[in-house]
Amino acid sequence: MKYETNYTKLQTYSLVLLRWLIGWHILYEGIAKLLNPDWSSLGFLQQAQGIMSGFAGWVTSHPTVLSTVDFLNTWGLIAIGVGLLLGICARTAAWAGAILVFTYYLTCPPLIGVEYARPVDGNNLIVDKTLFESIALVVLAVFPTSAVVGLDAIIQRLRTRRNGGVK
């Protein structure tokens, strides 16, 4: 049975393209961290000046917690990226990605008088690419496409066939 939406084909495939692009970006970030034995979130967390700065300070002062956060961050990015790219549990992946990326934003928000050692893309005030990506992930979560293009769609078709055409 075909999944029905009220979206046009252009709308659907635009959302799928957005899902793939963000999925690739998040997957790549996770893999880059996994393959770099020297990577740690320590430097990022030490720069925290947002509302998450207290939590970031606590994480950096406990090596075991920092190691756990690094592990969860790396593998979380990989799982979210795979979910978005392949369209498997994509709605869950989009919500998880939105929360994770928004946490990055809250840790180091682009505010007046705040300087970070990390490179930035241009001059940002309140709105930056991290916030955009987080909001785009919310859009992907509320306008799901994996039931049309993705493994979720294939799984649903197989279940429908197995149940004699009943969803």
As a whole number, the mean pLDDT across the chain is 89
Answer yes or no: are the C-beta atoms of 96 and 102 closer than 8 Å.
no
pLDDT at position 2, please?
46
DSSP letter string, 99-163 = HHHHHHHHHS---TT---SS--SS--BSB-HHHHHHHHHHHHHHS--TTTSSHHHHHHHHHHHHT
The tokens of 54 are what?
């207290």
* Residue 167: DSSP 8-state: -
Quickly count: other Cβ atoms within 10 Å of residue 136's Cβ. 19
| pLDDT confidence of residue 35 | 98
In the prediction, which pLDDT does 162 show? 81
Average pLDDT for 86-90:
94
pLDDT value at 29 more than 70: yes
Would the pLDDT of 1 be above 50? no
Q: Which two tokens stand for residue 82?
A: 């795979």
Distances (CA, A) of 72 to 3, 51, 54, 130: 34, 21, 19, 19
Task: Give the pLDDT of residue 4.
Answer: 57
Using the predicted structure, report yes or no on whether residue 7 has a pLDDT greater than 60.
Answer: yes
Boundaries of every domain in the chain: 9-162
Q: How confident is the model at residue 117 (pLDDT cuts 50, 70, 90)?
A: low
C-beta separation of 156 from 147 below 8 A: yes
Residue 29 three-state SS: helix
